[in-house]
Amino acid sequence: MSTAEPDLRAEGLHLGYDDRAVVSGLDLAVPPGRITAIVGANACGKSTLLRALARLLAPRDGAVSLDGRALHSIPTRELAQQLGILPQSPVAPEGLTVIDLVNRGRSPHQTWWRQWTKADEQAVHDALAATGTTDLADRAVDELSGGQRQRAWIAMAVAQGTPVLLLDEPTTYLDLAHQIDVLDLVVDLNRREGRTIVMVLHDLNQACRYADHVIAMKKGDIVAEGAPADVITAETVEDVFGLRCQVTTDPVSRTPLVIPVGRHHAPEPDSDSEEQESRPRKQ
Amino acid sequence: MTTDSAITDADTGTVSGKTKAAARPFRLAFPPLSGTLRPRQLTVTAGLAVAVFAALCWHVSIGEYGIPLADVVRALTGSGDAGTLLVVQELRLPRAMTGLLAGIAFGMSGALLQTMTRNPLASPDMIGLTQGAGTAVVAGIVLGWDFGLGTQALGLFGALASALIVYGLAWRRGTTGYRIILVGIGVSWICLSATDYLLARGGRFQAQAALGWLVGNLNGRDWQQAAPLAYALVVLVPTALLIGRLMRTLQLGDDVAKGLGTRVQTVRLTVLLTGVGLVAFATAAAGPVAFVALAAPQIAQRLCRTAWPPPLAAGLTGALVVLASDVLARELIPGTELPVGIVTGVLGAPVLLWLLIRVNRAGSGG
């Protein structure tokens, strides 16, 4: 892994599918060596942005650049040595073992004649150890529990050995214990190995606790970004999610903790106010 | 990691106990060369190769008069008495070799397409390639073109044309495996209807000749059919084995594959063209032998205990299935030679049903 700080940024980015524009004129600089969380309501363009950062989606206008080079000008394999992406809920073929999955993470480092070097073997060994999947190596991925499966996929991305790692909702479909398990693992990867991580998260409180930098998106635009304590305020949450809430302090991590108000459980006064648009939301 | 050990322990109780005992690949290195070796896959492939050779000898030994296996082996190496040499090398070997080579081509083609689309149902006989070749060849027979080289060219043209139609229609900002299957099923029915129309239009004699070819038939094959197929395989088999490596990431889905540095559309198109070439030459030589391309890769995958159909083992399984089926086809009813396609169809249909049931249960149809 290169020790230089990766510089991933987007300038004047326009993204969309067919005739639907999702992101229009977005600028972004990913803080190197930190964990960045992108939050926002459903369909606000956060996954679309992440896909563009990973070159899975070509911009209509503007560009994403890595270390000063436009992403689309970097050869595919070279980019895959610098930047890894784990899409949301990937599916492994039936019967594929964890070790076979993690081995595939080394593909960008392999050639016809150099298919499996000592370095590949070491990287896979380390990735299994870092994600706690060493004991699962010979199990089939589709037989694992949700949390184990997600750790196996992360192990694949870790074995890829990229300085930048993008994760699209790595905690989806996991129960709370496994969500925390995966997020702790993400912090390990960042602190131990200095990887730059960008992830899309649904849970605001988890974003506040696990990210150094939070980007709040609404309708394809960045509404606010910065340290969690600066970004996640009652006003921003109401603006971004259309949800009234109170923000206190997480007693464990001392980061912002969002408590939604909703329509039914607050003692006063807004049970009679009909203009309230916000739906109750589980956060 | 100490933090998640409790969670992991709690999990193991809920997960089904059948742990995959597949032997791990181990590393081979002769710097600067390096690669992996899967002991089980290697053993199975070697075993299949021996079985294919045995089936070939058995296939050659039977006929109007039997030849002892020892004499067959001697004749194959070019020694023995002149009569046996003539019967083996000129009369029987072309048919056996056509079956063997077509089996290899069908099996490999199925393995490539099944891996590419991540769906065992996406074999060339399911997505319209075989049917396209069939329509073109029947058109040739009915409209009065000749057998031999004509059939080869027509089969190749038909399979290529239907592949391009399937790929073109399935294209929407790139293609996905699922769309290729759906469009392919549509195209295969169009081809079948066109074939039926041609058969109805054609004269009785031509229709009879076309029907004989359409069921998949090795009767009366000579070197004229076997040779073009052999030349094609000299190019296509190494290609198939080389792109096997690039396809590994495709199995994980397009986004993951791109993230791992695979040029997804390029690899997919190369795989498709190689698969089409294999199935087209095989169909031209032996007719659309049913279900081999579907079943052989799945059998090979289970024998090797891999999570993907290994191309080489799939090809050898295909050869074994075709040769054994042809022996059955000749021996089943004394005095009559059934077309090999009928035997593989009868054997293959249950495999198709079993796959359909399994794909539905596993929920991996898409």
Chain B residues with CB inside 8 Å of A145's CB?
A: 11, 14-15
d(CA B300, CA B293): 11
CA distance B44 to chain A (A): 18
pLDDT, mean over chain B = 82
Distance between CA A12 and CA B184 in Å, rounded?
41
Please determine, for residue A37, whether its predicted confidence score (pLDDT) is greater than 50: yes
Contact residues on chain A for B38, CB-CB shorter than 8 A? none
Residue-by-residue DSSP string for B158-196: HHHHHHHHHHHHH-SSS--HHHHHHHHHHHHHHHHHHHH
Q: Are A94 and B359 in contact (CB under 8 A)?
A: no
By the CB < 8 Å criterion, does B144 face chain A? no
Enter the DSSP assignment of B17. Answer: S
Q: Please work out, in degrees rounded to the nearest 5, the angle formed at the alpha carbon of residue B45 by the alpha carbons of B44 and B51.
A: 90
pLDDT of residue B10: 35
**For the residues A13-26, what does the mean pLDDT come to?**
89
Which chain A residues contact residue B305 at CB under 8 A? 95
Contacts of B17 in chain A (CB under 8 A): none
Q: Which pLDDT score is estimated for A199? A: 96
pLDDT of residue B179: 82
What percent of chain A is modeled with pLDDT above 90?
70
Q: In this predicted structure, what is the pLDDT of residue A67?
A: 94
Chain A residues with CB under 8 Å of B258 CB are: 54-56, 76
Question: Quick check: helix, strand or coil at residue A247?
Answer: strand
User: According to the model, what pLDDT value does residue B49 have?
Assistant: 96
B74 in contact with A at a CB cutoff of 8 Å? no
Nearest CA in chain B to A158: B260
CA angle in degrees (0–180, nearest 5) for A168-A173-A174: 100
Question: Residue B364: which pLDDT band, with cuts at 50, 70 and 90?
Answer: very low
Q: What is the pLDDT of residue B20?
A: 40
Three-state SS letters, chain A: CCCCCCCEEEEEEEEEECCEEEEEEEEEEECCCCEEEEEECCCCCHHHHHHHHCCCCCCCEEEEEECCEEHHHCCHHHHHHHEEEECCCCCCCCCCEHHHHHHHCCHHHCCCCECCCHHHHHHHHHHHHHCCCHHHCCCEHHHCCHHHHHHHHHHHHHHCCCCEEEEECCCCCCCHHHHHHHHHHHHHHHHHHCCEEEEECCCHHHHHHHCCEEEEEECCEEEEEECHHHHCCHHHHHHHHCCCEEEEECCCCCCEEEEECCCCCCCCCHHHCCCCCCCCCCC
B218 pLDDT above the threshold of 70: yes
pLDDT score of B231: 93
| Tokens coding A89 | 């809920």
Interface test with A, best of B172, B255, B262, B263 (most A CBs within 10 A): B255
| % pLDDT > 70, chain A | 93
In this prediction, residue A196 carries a pLDDT of: 96
Q: Assign B139 a pLDDT band (cuts: 50, 70, 90).
A: confident
Give the Cα separation of B342 and B214 in Å (integer). Answer: 10
Under 8 Å between Cβ of A43 and A221: no
The predicted pLDDT at position B147 comes to: 53
pTM: 0.83
Identify residue A215 by its one-letter amino acid code.
I
Residue B62 amino acid letter: I
Instruction: Report which of residues B231 and B366 the model is more confident about.
Output: B231
* CB contact (8 A) between residue B364 and residue A97: no
Residue B19 pLDDT grade (very low, low, confident, very high; cuts 50, 70, 90):
very low
Question: Comparing B112 with B351, which gets the higher pLDDT?
Answer: B112
Q: List, as ranges, residues 102-141 from B with C-beta within 8 Å of A.
A: 118
Task: Report the pLDDT averaged over residues B212-223.
Answer: 80
The residue-averaged pLDDT of B284-290 equals: 85
d(Cα B264, Cα A110) in Å, to the nearest integer? 16
DSSP-assigned letters across all residues of A116-153: S-HHHHHHHHHHHHHTT-GGGTTSBGGGS-HHHHHHHH
**Residue B363 pLDDT class (50, 70, 90 cuts):** very low
Question: What is the number of residues in chain B?
Answer: 366
The pLDDT, as a whole number, for residue B16 is: 35
Which stretches does DSSP call E strand in A131-233? Answer: 164-168, 196-200, 213-218, 221-226
- Among A55-59, A112-116, A251-255, B316-320, the minimum mean pLDDT is found in A112-116
Q: How far is CA B157 from CA B144, B190, B329, in A?
A: 17, 16, 29
Q: Which of residues 50-69 of A touch B (CB under 8 A)?
A: 51, 54-56
- What's residue B360's pLDDT? 57
* pLDDT of B261: 92
Q: Say what the pLDDT of residue A270 is.
A: 52
Q: Is the ipTM of this complex over 0.85?
A: yes
Instruction: Decide if B348 contacts B295 (C-beta within 8 A).
Output: yes
B67-99 per-position pLDDT tens digit = 888 888 888 888 888 888 888 888 889 999 999
Of A94, A103, A121, the CB nearest to B364: A94
Percent of chain B with pLDDT over 70: 87
Q: End-to-end CA distance of chain B: give it in Å, rounded.
A: 35
Whole-number Å distance between alpha carbons of B150 and B67? 34
Which pLDDT belongs to residue B321? 94
Taking residues B13-42, report their average pLDDT. 62
Give the pLDDT of residue A75.
Answer: 93
Contacts of B260 in chain A (CB under 8 A): 80, 104-105, 107-108, 160
> In angstroms, rounded to a whole number, what is the distance separating the alpha carbons of residues A202 and B144?
67
Quote the pLDDT of residue B9: 34
Say if residue B8's pLDDT is above 50: no
Rg of chain B, C-alpha, whole Å: 22
Between CA A176 and CA B121 the distance in angstroms is 37
Determine, for residues B36 and A107 on separate chains, whether the beta-carbon distance falls below 8 Å: no
Angle formed by the axes of helices B223-250 and B311-331, nearest 10° = 140
pLDDT tens per residue across span A132-157: 899 999 999 999 988 899 999 999 99
- Going by pLDDT thresholds of 50, 70 and 90, the confidence category of residue A14 is very high
pLDDT at B103: 96
Spatial neighbors of B112 by CB under 8 A, at least 6 apart, are B240, B243, B247, B271, B274, B275, B278, B311
pLDDT of residue B347: 84
Q: In the beta sheet, which residues pair with residue A85?
A: A166
Q: Are A29 and A6 in contact (CB under 8 A)?
A: no
Query: Residue B30: what are its φ and ψ, rounded to 5°?
Result: -130, 80
Residue B36 has pLDDT above 80, yes or no: no
Q: Identify which of A177-181, B23-27, B211-215 has the greatest average pLDDT.
A: A177-181
Please name which of B221, B182, B228, B244 lies closest in space to residue B323, comparing C-alpha atoms. B221
pLDDT of residue A277: 47
The residue with tokens 């060369």 is B33
| Across A95-109, B36-50, B67-81, B144-158, least confident range | B144-158
Q: Is the pLDDT assigned to residue B120 strictly greater than 70?
A: yes
- Mean of the per-residue pLDDT values for chain A? 89
CA dist B116 and B244 (Å) reads: 10
A283 pLDDT exceeds 50? no
Q: Which amino acid is at A252?
A: V
Angle A240-A243-A246 from CA coordinates, rounded to 5°: 105
Q: Give A195's contacts (C-beta < 8 A, 6+ positions apart).
A: A1, A33, A162, A163, A164, A165, A189
* Minimum Cα–Cα distance from A99: chain B residue: B24
Mean local confidence (pLDDT), B220-245: 88
